Amino acid sequence: MKDPKEYRNVLQILKLWQSGKSLTAIANHLNDRKVPPRRGLRWHHETVHQIVKHETQNKEK
């Protein structure tokens, strides 16, 4: 089951990505707004990339 709080972050990431924001810009956006990542202290573009990749691959199935 998806954690509702985390899933809100996933939806926000996807919305920003679909609007044309870069992975780094999304990570900066989340960090600036103090959105806590699941692990670690800050968002990184690699983390955002993995979320986008995971979510877009799941929608293709």
> pLDDT per residue over 2-60, tens digit each?
677 789 999 999 999 999 999 999 999 999 999 999 888 999 999 999 999 999 987 76
Cβ contacts of 26 within 8 Å, gap of 6 or more: 13, 16, 17, 43, 45, 48
Q: What is the pLDDT of residue 58?
A: 76
Half-sphere exposure at residue 6, Cβ-oriented, CA atoms within 13 angstroms: 9
Q: What is the pLDDT of residue 22?
A: 98
pTM equals 0.87
Q: What is the tally of helices (H) and strands (E) in the chain?
A: 3, 0
Boundaries of every domain in the chain: 4-60
Q: What is the pLDDT of residue 54?
A: 93
Residue 1's pLDDT band, with cuts at 50, 70 and 90, is: low
Half-sphere exposure at residue 39, Cβ-oriented, CA atoms within 13 angstroms: 2
